[in-house]
């Protein structure tokens, strides 16, 4: 099993290209199930989660051709995927695949909408919480699907097709919004989703569905209106830049000092997090190509935040911010309101010398003068990259084990950081 070794203390300077957003690429790939025509997606990141989802889609009958990266100034503009689901050969998504990545459960809506049936494994729990699928099923039932659960599988039928309706989610759910949005694109009539998630990735999927022929209104708001179609067409769409990767590298620069341009980063997609980062004493500036992040010698100021659905501070940046705040000149507070078990990185940060106390959903971080390298263990995707940030900012050598978590969501992490002066390398298992 691969590890990453970091020798800390180097300020980051240079340019880091931002890859396509994983959290948009996954539902966009699933959207290929909605049409017989070719769907072309540009700027798809090369990630373990993407590769796993491709295996699942191929199991359903999706053909895939891939154009690789091109050398030159826009190398970060990922790969181009050409997906064609002319014939759906299997409407079952088996446990051994769905259990490895929760987003694969989102094939349920498109399969019901196009084929009138689906059998999809329940995804089960995960490291950062249970994340139940009850809202997914509520929305699909409202669209007319008959749903049973048997032996760990959701068995859904809609022999007469789905019909548009009004759906009011009792709480915001990104996954349920994606699943229902995709299904509604092939439902008869208008579907209105109230209390929909507002994340930019939802808007990116809605924009792609509009190109395919399903009119979507209210993008970026909590009310989505979808005019479904009997048939969707092919389209060409570019995956938006990854705001979580953008925020992660911004916090790495803040923790280590330096001056880095995040090429392709978009301030509007990350305003809450960048406002918090500015309050720590980090300088941020929009440029023609992205976002410039600077911290040259000044201390890190403490801050207090709580995670919220978009447009609030994203839970996917909570661990990274905590790594930064371990070096603040005072006490910071982080309250995690989205996932009930998303503080597993705390014990690993403590191995590096961090002073963090947990009380339920709240972490109190007392800044220390220095972190010191040590062996640590990655526990989930975002927690693992918080250890990278801490290792970059600390003294001495940090070795991060179980880095397959990083490969799920960060493309070429070591290469991007090393090009900006970080002393970081992957140690292959042997």
Residue 20 lies in a domain: no
pLDDT of residue 74: 53
Same domain, 369 and 400: yes
Instruction: Count helices and strands (H / E) in the chain.
Output: 14, 24
Instruction: Judge whether 222 is annotated as a binding position.
Output: no
CB of 284 closer than 8 Å to CB of 262: no
DSSP three-state, residue 255:
helix
pLDDT of residue 127: 43
Instruction: Judge whether 207 is annotated as a binding position.
Output: no
Backbone φ and ψ for 23, nearest 5 degrees, come out as -75, -10
Total number of domains constituting the chain: 2
Q: What is d(CA 50, CA 48) in angstroms, rounded to the nearest whole number?
A: 5
Same domain, 42 and 187: yes
CB of 414 closer than 8 Å to CB of 20: no
Q: Which of 214, 238, 262 is the last residue of a domain?
A: 238
Instruction: Judge whether 338 is annotated as a binding position.
Output: yes
Same domain, 201 and 188: yes
Could you report the per-residue pLDDT of 197-220, keeping only the tens digit for each? 999 999 999 999 999 999 999 999
Q: Show the DSSP H helices in 147-260 as ranges.
A: 174-184, 200-212, 243-256
β strands within 26-164, DSSP E = 38-44, 63-67, 79-84, 92-93, 117-121, 146-150, 153-157
Same domain, 96 and 188: yes
Q: Which of 238, 264, 281 is the last residue of a domain?
A: 238
Instruction: Judge whether 316 is annotated as a binding position.
Output: yes
* Catalytic-role residue among 54, 64, 88, 126: 126
Could you report the per-residue pLDDT of 225-279, keeping only the tens digit for each? 999 999 999 999 999 999 999 999 999 999 999 999 999 999 999 999 999 999 9
Same domain, 103 and 223: yes
Residue by residue, DSSP assigns 199-242 as -HHHHHHHHHHHHHT-EEE-TTSSEEEEE--SSPPPEEEEPPB-
Catalytic: 208? no
Residue 318 lies in a domain: yes
DSSP state letter for 73? T
Longest dimension (CA), the chain: 65
Could you report the per-residue pLDDT of 385-409, keeping only the tens digit for each? 999 999 999 999 999 998 888 998 8
Closest by CA to 241, choosing from 402, 57, 77, 393, is 77
Q: Which of 207, 238, 269 is the last residue of a domain?
A: 238
> Per the omega criterion (within 30 degrees of 0), is the bond before 175 cis?
no
**Strand 117-121 relative to strand 92-93: parallel, antiparallel, unpaired?**
parallel
Q: What is d(CA 237, CA 169) in angstroms, rounded to the nearest whole number?
A: 28
CB of 388 closer than 8 Å to CB of 252: yes
Same domain, 300 and 409: yes
β strands within 276-342, DSSP E = 283-286, 290-295, 304-306, 331-335
Residue 49 lies in a domain: yes
pLDDT of residue 124: 59
pLDDT of residue 72: 53
Q: What is d(CA 390, CA 411) in angstroms, rounded to the nearest whole number?
A: 19
DSSP H/E element including 82: strand 79-84
Same domain, 197 and 291: no
| 134 CB-near residues (< 8 Å, 6+ apart) | none
Residue 117 lies in a domain: yes
Q: What is d(CA 146, CA 305) in angstroms, rounded to the nearest whole number?
A: 42
Residue 376 lies in a domain: yes
Question: Residue for token digits 């995690």?
Answer: 336
DSSP three-state, residue 173:
coil
Closest by CA to 208, choosing from 181, 169, 172, is 181
Tokens of 309: 């659905």
Residue 388 lies in a domain: yes
The whole-model pTM stands at 0.95
DSSP three-state, residue 70:
coil
Same domain, 104 and 158: yes
| 247 CB-near residues (< 8 Å, 6+ apart) | 270, 273, 274, 277, 314, 317, 320
Beta-bridge partner residues of 14: 260
Residue 21 lies in a domain: no
CATH number where 156 lies: 3.65.10.10
Instruction: Judge whether 148 is annotated as a binding position.
Output: no
CB of 378 closer than 8 Å to CB of 319: no
DSSP three-state, residue 31:
helix
Distances from the Cα of 347 to the Cαs of 175, 204, 343, 384, in angstroms?
29, 36, 8, 12
Same domain, 234 and 280: no
Same domain, 231 and 273: no
Tokens of 131: 């994340």
Same domain, 417 and 359: yes
Q: What is d(CA 331, CA 258) in angstroms, rounded to the nearest whole number?
A: 24
> Within 13 Å, how many C-alpha atoms sit on residue 215's CB side?
5
Instruction: Judge whether 160 is annotated as a binding position.
Output: no
pLDDT of residue 100: 85
| 150 CB-near residues (< 8 Å, 6+ apart) | none
Same domain, 348 and 371: yes
Q: Which domain holds residue 160?
A: 26-238
Residue 46 lies in a domain: yes
pLDDT of residue 69: 65
Tokens of 246: 């953008």
* pLDDT < 70: residue spans in the chain: 69-77, 124-131, 430
Tokens of 139: 């929305």
Instruction: Judge whether 59 is annotated as a binding position.
Output: no
Instruction: Judge whether 285 is annotated as a binding position.
Output: no
């Amino acid at each position: 099993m691969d590890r990453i070794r970091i020798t800390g203390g180097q300020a980051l300077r240079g340019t880091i290209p931002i890859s396509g957003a994983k959290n948009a690429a996954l539902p966009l790939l699933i959207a290929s199930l909605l049409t017989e025509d070719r769907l072309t997606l540009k700027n798809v990141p090369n990630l373990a989660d993407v590769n796993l989802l491709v295996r699942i889609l191929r199991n359903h009958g999706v053909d895939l051709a891939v154009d690789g990266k091109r050398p030159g100034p826009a190398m970060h503009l990922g790969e181009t995927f050409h997906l064609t689901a002319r014939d759906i050969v299997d409407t079952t998504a088996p446990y051994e695949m769905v259990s490895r990545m929760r987003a694969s459960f989102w094939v349920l809506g498109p399969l019901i909408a196009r084929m009138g049936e689906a059998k999809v494994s329940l995804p089960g729990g995960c490291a950062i919480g249970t994340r139940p699928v009850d809202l997914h099923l509520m929305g699909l039932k409202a669209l007319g699907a008959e749903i049973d659960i048997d032996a760990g599988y959701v068995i859904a039928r809609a022999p007469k097709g789905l019909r548009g309706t009004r759906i009011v989610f009792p709480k915001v759910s990104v996954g349920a919004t994606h699943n229902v949005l995709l299904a509604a694109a092939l439902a008869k009539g208008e579907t209105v989703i109230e209390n929909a998630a507002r994340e930019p990735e939802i808007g990116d999927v809605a924009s792609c569905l509009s190109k395919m022929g399903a009119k979507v209104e209210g993008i970026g708001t909590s009310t989505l209106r979808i005019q479904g179609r009997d048939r969707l067409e092919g389209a060409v769409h570019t995956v938006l830049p990854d705001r979580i990767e953008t925020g992660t590298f911004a916090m790495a620069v803040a923790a280590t000092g330096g001056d880095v341009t995040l090429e392709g980063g978009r301030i509007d997609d990350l305003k809450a997090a960048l406002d918090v980062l500015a309050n720590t004493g980090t300088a941020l500036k929009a440029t023609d190509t992205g976002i410039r992040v600077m911290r040259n010698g000044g201390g890190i100021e403490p801050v207090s935040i709580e995670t919220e659905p978009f447009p609030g501070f994203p839970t996917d940046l909570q661990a990274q911010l905590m790594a930064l705040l371990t070096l603040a000149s005072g006490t910071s507070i982080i309250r995690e309101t989205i996932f009930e078990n998303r503080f597993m990185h705390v014990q690993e940060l403590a191995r590096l010398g961090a002073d963090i106390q947990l009380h339920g959903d709240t972490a109190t971080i007392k800044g220390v003068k220095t972190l010191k390298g040590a062996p640590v263990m990655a526990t989930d995707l975002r927690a693992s990259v918080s250890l990278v940030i801490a290792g970059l900012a600390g003294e001495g050598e940090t070795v991060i084990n179980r880095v397959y978590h990083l490969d799920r969501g960060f493309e070429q992490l070591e290469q991007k950081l090393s090009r900006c002066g970080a002393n970081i390398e992957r140690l292959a298992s042997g």
